[in-house]
Chains A and B, each alone.
Chain A
Amino acid sequence: MASTGQPLSLKRRDAPLTREGDQLTITPLGAGNEVGRSCVYMSYKSKTILFDCGIHPAYSGMAALPYFDEIDPSTIDVLLITHFHLDHAASLPYFLEKTTFRGRVFMTHATKAIYKLLLTDYVKVSKVSIEDMLFDEQDINRSMDKIEVIDFHQTVEVNGIKFWCYTAGHVLGAAMFMVDIAGVRVLYTGDYSREEDRHLRAAELPQFSPDICIIESTYGVQLHQPRHIREKRFTDVIHSTISQGGRVLIPAFALGRAQELLLILDEYWSNHPELHNIPIYYASPLAKKCMAVYQTYILSMNERIRSQFANSNPFKFKHISPLNSIEDFSDVGPSVVMASPSGLQSGLSRQLFDMWCSDKKNSCVIPGYVVEGTLAKTIINEPKEVTLMNGLTAPLNMQVHYISFSAHADYAQTSTFLKELMPPNIILVHGEANEMGRLKQKLITEFTDGNTKIITPKNCQSVEMYFNSEKMAKTIGRLAEKAPEVGETVSGVLVKKGFTYQIMAPDDLHIFSQLSTANITQRITIPFAGAFGVIKHRLEQIYESVESSTDEESAVPTLQVHDRVTVKQDSDKHISLHWTSDPIGDMVSDSIVALVLNISREIPKVVVESEAEKTEEENGKKAEKVIFALLVSLFGDVKLGENGKLMISVDGNVAHLDKQSGDVESENKGLKERVKTAFRRIQSAVKPIPFSAP
């Protein structure tokens, strides 16, 4: 079912594929076999969704963007952002303001509130040239108006796409999105953690099993240490460094994990009065601003924090002081500093690192996942020397500890999560190629039933799957008064809304839908001074049924043609036509109008009976000729065969057509059907309108 095809441009919307409607395409535009710039494109039944819109923290400018040029942004219906981290949300202002995207964007309340602060800060601190700037503050403010909010579990329907989100546990407001298009469900986890920590809930297990699970694989097959051991290691390293007179640098991203670490540190300091003279600095004005958000959306946090909140604000730290810039920092004696960015690329954390890296008393605690290509990743392997910001090299003497607090699922969590869900298709994203590969192998050995497909597409590599979606319709109302037997026919209006189908009688249309029906009655007046009888006579020549009567109200003579059109002699000088609009009625009335106009122009002729008969005969022959000509134009090789049958040959297949009955004989079923249909249509075009038509 699933196949990993060549990277092909997704702009081609109307691919000439027979099953195109049932083909589901998933293409990572970023985060395919890498960490950073998460962006996954999905399309099914001509509905398109983009999950996340991040940047790659190791690159700058356009190079940091996901491969947006692979898609046509104007075709995207919905864009869903899982959480506020830069690698998941930071290219959003660019995508909203600088591309042709016109769809709708959704994120949770907390994500939206922090998104603005975070990106404004990002724009300020990223020191790139103007050309490399992807967006400015105005773009962010404008994007805020376009972003809509969604609450956890709230079901939203856009354009037939249904989606809702679950708690992901990664950071405040992080969500996993479940998307339902025509019954096919896709779960996109974003970054998630199944472990409850100091302030966040663990990721929920969705109620329904998805058909496809797009899951992060950051930690691959690694296993996390239990949380209390990690916390102990963390506090022990800090405690011992400080007691030896050293300084501790914790490079951490301003939001998310930092709050968790601060909660740990604040509590540890409270329990150890001997440390009270050692300052803890938290160098992030941004985080200070975000505190209001953390204090407001306590409903998104776990029970523990909510109950603490009842008494006092747990985010009001007693032992931690804010630090605005390195100028305000007096580096005298031991201290603990938490500073961003987490990758030590630049900024305050890098400045401090450069100052402290050569002293072996100092420590650097790396508390979370570090992205490939950043200095933090380099120093984990403890090289002898490092390059400073000013280009010089310095010995790396400080101790480097890597204690992961990042709230990503580890292998144990991932495999149990997947086993609970049992999705038939798993797509791994957001992981380094090697880790991802190992994870894939290990998962394959776990899911040995063979029904589970695990795919690890690279960026821009499309995964195509086919889903045999059964279209179900509900027949309701008068049409459904009794269930039909096999072989009976059902005729009615098929109404499609989103992906639900209903069949109903036209009269029920207004009951079961907001559509209403109309009757258009037309009345047209034609000047006519001749005798009314002439019109009747002429009409009888064309139409089989012409009934004459008198109008009840005005007592004027009337004619009823085919029960459709009423011709009324309003006065000596005018006649009027009445009919209800429909194609046949319009046509009949047009012919009557033409006839009446002709009568008024021409002098009435004497009509010869025999002529009429002859015309009928001629008509028959003419019709045959027309049928033959039309068939030739359709099929090419048409010959008159034995006993009046027509022989039609197309590519060596031969069909025999009986002109009288319309029966077709042919070896080739397809041809047979086509000839039959063609003949039926030609006949209905050539033959006069039967009287029986309702």
Chain B
Amino acid sequence: MGTSVQVTPLCGVYNENPLSYLVSIDGFNFLIDCGWNDLFDPSLLQPLSRVASTIHAVLLSHPDTLHLGALPYAMKQFGLSAPVYSTEPVYRLGLLTMYDQYLSRKQVSEFDLFSLDDIDSAFQSVTRLTYSQNYHLSGKGEGIVIAPHVAGHLLGGTVWKITKDGEDVIYAVDFNRRKEKHLNGTVLESFVRPAVLITDAYNALNNQPPKQQRERDRDFVDIISKTLEAGGNVLLPVDTAGRVLELLLVLEEHWSLKSLNFPIFFLTYVSSSTIDYVKSFLEWMSDAIAKSFETSRDNAFLLKHVTLLISKSELDKVPDGPKVVLASMASLEAGFSHDIFVEWAADVKNLVLFTERGQFGTLSRMLQADPPPKAVKVMMSRRVPLVGEELIAYEEEQNRLKKEEALKASLIKEEESKASHVPNINSSDPMVIDANNKHPSLDGQHGSGYRDVLIDGFVPPSTSVAPMFPFYENTSDWDDFGEVINPDDYVIKDEDMDQAAMHIGGDMDGKLDEGSASLILDTTPSKVISNELTVLVKSSLIYMDYEGRSDGRSVKSILAHVTPLKLVLVHGSAEATEHLKQHCLKHVCPHVYAPQIEETIDVTSDLCAYKVQLSEKLMSNVLFKKFGDYEIAWVDAEVGKTENDMLSLLPISTPAPPHKSVVVGDLKMADFKQFLASKGVKVEFAGGALRCGEYVTLRKVGLASLKGGGSGTQQIIIEGPLCEEYYKIRDYLYSQFYLL
């Protein structure tokens, strides 16, 4: 029997909720993707919480919230501790996306689901792989090989291939077949007949007009430049480090071409580090980008027309006038895009240009409705420093806590070190964020004083709350010979030089932008105040598809090409899922599943197989015929055993039993027509048949559309009167096939 495979969706089936699926292969549990949405609703993660502890490995496919957003929370709250596998860009950009999410959220709410430290520790256990790297799992997963392949949707985006005993399980969601400016198209089509394919129905009903990429780009920049020329501003709500890269390149190219002077701003909390990292990810991008770097060392992401901003105040300082702003979040639920939208929506000249469908239930989805709402209610929240009584109350509370702390510390000072210095004041005033957590503040000026400090590489430990220097009791041990010395103190370290240099570098995770760092360093007590207001939407709202996913038509044609033995559909509205299921049942394979949340389906292949050794004696008699990548031959063999009890095939001793001859080949009528024409035969299509010469007709009947089931055999009929031509054409026809 084949490898046992079970699939259990944990989130994101029959709707557009975040993606999270449990795939168990011979008892080894993979969690594939661990997504959350921009609303951060913990109830979505209920199914995950029930299985988190049984998971053996986590595979991440894309660096956005929908695919990996819940990782920090799951690691912290559900005891998920399995190793995580992803590509380098998914790791790095995913980390930045989470930072951006956190900082945006923190700005407007008492966000306490996870902290920056949780994000860091969740991403610490990520093993980074390159595309097409066959990674052999060890331990419980012995024999399983995982390999990431190009998905084409986001930078580093992955189609996961999990192989055991020669059977492939492929997880491919949000792939894009089309080659883009910065990404190559997916390689999904190069996999043929995997045992199981898990894919999404997200776009099954979404058929894009067959528009050339160039045309679409032109429309895109036309709309933007028209608005700018009319004196309006353009807001593009974007993701942190995903599709925005493509938009940046489109804009950058157009601006260079037309030498436009309107400023473009890319505003997220992590924009400058995003671009810094992206610059070093050329290996992961399209061939065109790699090539331009190899030949002329032009890094496509050395952006000349785009200014990277990391705080709103910097944008406010920019002189008025038409500008383009790409700001996160795409959902308009929080982040800079939210604030800018509220500011700009009231002006008819302005344009809000959506480049992807908003997540369900978010402001951007509401605005994308047709017709768009005239007015929307939004919650405006901002974080303000405490003043007056509140501040005094807060300080008193802090002092009280410090005193307690000091008292406690003195009691346990014989305990050696640092642990006791972590103040445990998480549970203080709910109005106030304790100073132990990083304190963001909308007011960027608070941070500016700290910036120089950061550049020097001085990062204060997050625990530095006490106004006094930490005091360590230095008790030295004495024995009969005097003070006990630690020999390590006297060893000259080889690595000293390195460490010195290392220190300058600071650690990698310290590489937040200065702006966000200022938020972290800022210890001013603050609180969030919210008020709801109604925004009249007067600005134009336009949706243009730049989401970089294959549309319904191309998904179907890819599926028909891949023809998995079993197909599992996830992620997509109920209608889309049902539509794609029906389509695939008819045209792709007879085994299509679309499980519900927490419904475990068994997609173990009912494939029978056994291994045999091909003896040298047998093989020396086999004559292979070459057929594309394949070589084929007919064998008649007798089963024997080798010394180590393997089945082996030996040449047959009795005359081979006659077998029905097999005609192998795939005849394409159009190709054959050309072939005949090249041989000087007059050919034409007439009434579904190919008329060859004067009398002979050739027909293909009962087109085997259902590849997986059915007979799969082509029926070709050749008819004609007895004449020389008949035999000639028959010979040509035979030349297209191999006979076994």
Q: Could you list which residues of chain A lie within 8 angstroms of chain B, going by C-beta atoms? A: 109, 112-113, 116, 141, 144, 149, 151-156, 164, 198, 207, 226-228, 231, 267, 289, 292-293, 295-299, 303-304, 306-311, 470-478, 480-498, 501, 503, 506-507, 509-527, 581-584, 593, 680, 684, 693-694
**Chain A residue at minimum C-beta to C-beta distance from B629:** A497
- A-B contacts besides A297-B283, A474-B609, A491-B636, 12 pairs, CB < 8 Å: A155-B134, A155-B147, A306-B508, A310-B508, A491-B635, A495-B631, A506-B660, A515-B666, A518-B716, A581-B663, A680-B655, A694-B660
8 Å CB interface, B249-291 against A: 276, 279-283, 290
**Chain B residue at minimum C-beta to C-beta distance from A468:** B616
Instruction: For the complex, give the distance between the alpha carbons of A514 and B560 in Å.
Output: 12
8 Å CB interface, B493-520 against A: 494, 496-498, 501-502, 504-508, 510-511
Q: Given that A116-B294, A483-B647, A518-B667 are contacting pairs, would A307 and B502 also be in contact in the complex, using a CB cutoff of 8 Å?
A: yes
Contact assessment for B721 and A526 in the assembled complex, using a CB-CB cutoff below 8 Å: yes
Contact assessment for B663 and A520 in the assembled complex, using a CB-CB cutoff below 8 Å: yes
Q: Given that A488-B638, A511-B193 are contacting pairs, would A151 and B716 also be in contact in the complex, using a CB cutoff of 8 Å?
A: no
Contact assessment for B652 and A489 in the assembled complex, using a CB-CB cutoff below 8 Å: yes
Contact assessment for A493 and B632 in the assembled complex, using a CB-CB cutoff below 8 Å: yes
Contact assessment for B660 and A582 in the assembled complex, using a CB-CB cutoff below 8 Å: yes
Instruction: For the complex, give the distance between the alpha carbons of A584 and B290 in Å.
Output: 57
Q: Given that A311-B505, A480-B609 are contacting pairs, would A516 and B133 also be in contact in the complex, using a CB cutoff of 8 Å?
A: no
Instruction: For the complex, give the distance between the alpha carbons of A226 and B616 in Å.
Output: 53
Instruction: For the complex, give the distance between the alpha carbons of A582 and B662 in Å.
Output: 8
Which of the residues A487, A523, A581 comes within 8 Å of B719, measured between beta carbons? A523
Contact assessment for B498 and A304 in the assembled complex, using a CB-CB cutoff below 8 Å: yes
Q: Given that A296-B293, A474-B166, A489-B636 are contacting pairs, would A520 and B739 also be in contact in the complex, using a CB cutoff of 8 Å?
A: no
B541 interfacial by beta-carbon distance below 8 Å: no
Which of the residues A228, A475, A680 comes within 8 Å of B611, measured between beta carbons? A475
B622 to chain A: closest CB distance in Å?
7
Which of the residues A495, A513, A519 comes within 8 Å of B714, measured between beta carbons? A519
Stretch at the interface among B208-216, B391-399, B405-413, B705-713: B705-713
Q: Given that A112-B294, A511-B193, A514-B192 are contacting pairs, would A583 and B636 also be in contact in the complex, using a CB cutoff of 8 Å?
A: no
Q: Given that A513-B630, A694-B659 are contacting pairs, would A476 and B649 also be in contact in the complex, using a CB cutoff of 8 Å?
A: no
A494 to chain B: closest CB distance in Å?
5
Instruction: For the complex, give the distance between the alpha carbons of A296 and B292 in Å.
Output: 13
Contact assessment for B280 and A296 in the assembled complex, using a CB-CB cutoff below 8 Å: yes
Contact assessment for B630 and A497 in the assembled complex, using a CB-CB cutoff below 8 Å: yes
Interface of B is mostly: mixed
B627: A residues at CB distance < 8 A: 515
Contact assessment for A113 and B720 in the assembled complex, using a CB-CB cutoff below 8 Å: no
B540 interfacial by beta-carbon distance below 8 Å: no
Contact assessment for B649 and A490 in the assembled complex, using a CB-CB cutoff below 8 Å: yes
B715 interfacial by beta-carbon distance below 8 Å: yes
Q: Given that A477-B607, A517-B712, A518-B716 are contacting pairs, would A310 and B510 also be in contact in the complex, using a CB cutoff of 8 Å?
A: yes
Instruction: List, sorted by A's number, 12 A–B pairs whose CB atoms are closer than 8 Å.
Output: A109-B294, A298-B280, A470-B613, A506-B660, A509-B664, A511-B193, A515-B632, A515-B665, A516-B665, A518-B737, A519-B713, A519-B715
B656: A residues at CB distance < 8 A: 491
B733 to chain A: closest CB distance in Å?
7
Instruction: For the complex, give the distance between the alpha carbons of A113 and B296 in Å.
Output: 9
B135: A residues at CB distance < 8 A: 153
Instruction: For the complex, give the distance between the alpha carbons of A116 and B707 in Å.
Output: 48
4 smallest CB-CB distances across A and B, nearest first, come from: A523-B719, A510-B712, A308-B505, A153-B133
B593 interfacial by beta-carbon distance below 8 Å: no
Instruction: For the complex, give the distance between the alpha carbons of A527 and B723 in Å.
Output: 11
**Chain A residue at minimum C-beta to C-beta distance from B714:** A518
8 Å CB interface, B186-209 against A: 192-193
Q: Given that A470-B613, A474-B609, A497-B630 are contacting pairs, would A516 and B299 also be in contact in the complex, using a CB cutoff of 8 Å?
A: no
B516 to chain A: closest CB distance in Å?
14
Contact assessment for B638 and A494 in the assembled complex, using a CB-CB cutoff below 8 Å: no
A226 to chain B: closest CB distance in Å?
6
A386 to chain B: closest CB distance in Å?
35
Contact assessment for A524 and B726 in the assembled complex, using a CB-CB cutoff below 8 Å: yes
Interface-central residue, B88, B131, B293, B294, by most chain A CB under 10 Å:
B294
B303 interfacial by beta-carbon distance below 8 Å: no
Instruction: For the complex, give the distance between the alpha carbons of A472 and B618 in Å.
Output: 12
Contact assessment for A472 and B613 in the assembled complex, using a CB-CB cutoff below 8 Å: yes
Contact assessment for B722 and A582 in the assembled complex, using a CB-CB cutoff below 8 Å: no
**Chain B residue at minimum C-beta to C-beta distance from A110:** B283
Interface size class of B (residues with CB under 8 A): 35 or more
A156: B residues at CB distance < 8 A: 132
Contact assessment for B290 and A144 in the assembled complex, using a CB-CB cutoff below 8 Å: no
Which of the residues B293, B455, B507 comes within 8 Å of A113, measured between beta carbons? B293
B244 to chain A: closest CB distance in Å?
20
B619 interfacial by beta-carbon distance below 8 Å: yes
B614 interfacial by beta-carbon distance below 8 Å: yes
Instruction: For the complex, give the distance between the alpha carbons of A310 and B280 in Å.
Output: 11
Contact assessment for B659 and A524 in the assembled complex, using a CB-CB cutoff below 8 Å: no
B144 to chain A: closest CB distance in Å?
14
Instruction: For the complex, give the distance between the alpha carbons of A641 and B511 in Å.
Output: 97
Contact assessment for B613 and A154 in the assembled complex, using a CB-CB cutoff below 8 Å: no
Contact assessment for A155 and B662 in the assembled complex, using a CB-CB cutoff below 8 Å: no
8 Å CB interface, B587-642 against A: 607-614, 616, 619, 622, 624, 627-641
Contact assessment for A292 and B659 in the assembled complex, using a CB-CB cutoff below 8 Å: no
Contact assessment for B132 and A496 in the assembled complex, using a CB-CB cutoff below 8 Å: no
Which of the residues A116, A299, A471, A515 comes within 8 Å of B664, measured between beta carbons? A515
A498: B residues at CB distance < 8 A: 629
B519 to chain A: closest CB distance in Å?
18
A90 to chain B: closest CB distance in Å?
17
B297 interfacial by beta-carbon distance below 8 Å: yes
Contact assessment for B662 and A506 in the assembled complex, using a CB-CB cutoff below 8 Å: yes
Contact assessment for B282 and A296 in the assembled complex, using a CB-CB cutoff below 8 Å: yes
Which of the residues B193, B498, B510, B659 comes within 8 Å of A491, measured between beta carbons? B659
A323 to chain B: closest CB distance in Å?
21
Instruction: For the complex, give the distance between the alpha carbons of A497 and B295 in Å.
Output: 36
Contact assessment for B624 and A496 in the assembled complex, using a CB-CB cutoff below 8 Å: yes
**Chain B residue at minimum C-beta to C-beta distance from A596:** B722
Contact assessment for B713 and A517 in the assembled complex, using a CB-CB cutoff below 8 Å: yes
B383 to chain A: closest CB distance in Å?
28
A584: B residues at CB distance < 8 A: 661
Instruction: For the complex, give the distance between the alpha carbons of A267 and B607 in Å.
Output: 63
Contact assessment for A490 and B737 in the assembled complex, using a CB-CB cutoff below 8 Å: no
B610: A residues at CB distance < 8 A: 474-475, 480, 483
A255 to chain B: closest CB distance in Å?
14
Instruction: For the complex, give the distance between the alpha carbons of A492 and B660 in Å.
Output: 11
Q: Given that A519-B715, A522-B730 are contacting pairs, would A494 and B299 also be in contact in the complex, using a CB cutoff of 8 Å?
A: no
Contact assessment for B501 and A521 in the assembled complex, using a CB-CB cutoff below 8 Å: no
8 Å CB interface, B296-327 against A: 297, 299
Contact assessment for B739 and A583 in the assembled complex, using a CB-CB cutoff below 8 Å: yes
B565 interfacial by beta-carbon distance below 8 Å: yes
